[in-house]
Amino acid sequence: MKIALGSDHGGYALKCDIIKLLESKGYEYRDFGCYSTESCDYPDFGEAAARAVASGEYDRGIVICTTGIGISIAANKVRGIRCARCADPLEAEMTRRHNDANMIAIGAGFTGKNLAERMVEVFLTTEFEGGRHARRVEKMDAIQP
């Protein structure tokens, strides 16, 4: 599985922790930025990671900013992206099972390293249930222009 990553300066440190986790688990990934704690704009990096997932080059995406909200909105502007801002492992599990989310957004200002790592592990290992949920995902995707 190939993972696309993106963050702004507020999510940079947590993204570095997530990269260590991905490396320890043997995941292939690409960091689409940012690359420091210097102030920057989350839409740039949320969009870049989302486009990589939407293109099919990457299977899933992880985006991080201070709240997780702005970068999730930016990612969700890309057609074919279903990015869920999650705050705990159960949300990460359910958004995969029921929404077939292909990206997760995390708020570094609210989520510590251990919790974020657990959410990422759950997000990357949980499969979509399909069934009645597939119909709903199709309806969500149809909303986009």
Contact 59, 30 (CB under 8 A): no
Helices assigned H by DSSP within the chain: 12-25, 42-54, 69-76, 89-99, 113-125, 132-143
The one catalytic residue in 9, 34, 86, 98 is 98
The one catalytic residue in 9, 34, 65, 83 is 65
How many Cβ atoms are within 10 Å of 89's Cβ, its own excluded? 18
Q: Examine the residue annotation and report whether 133 is marked as an active-site residue of this protein.
A: no
Domains of the chain: 2-143 (3.40.1400.10)
Please report the sign of the dihedral spanned by the C-alpha atoms of residue 24, residue 88, residue 61, residue 112: negative
Q: What is the mean pLDDT of each run of 10 residues along the chain (145 residues)?
A: 98 98 98 98 98 98 98 97 98 98 98 98 97 94 81
Intra-chain end-to-end CA distance of the chain, in Å = 29
**pLDDT score recorded for residue 38:** 98
**pLDDT score recorded for residue 86:** 98
pLDDT in tens, 61-88: 999 999 999 999 999 999 999 999 999 9
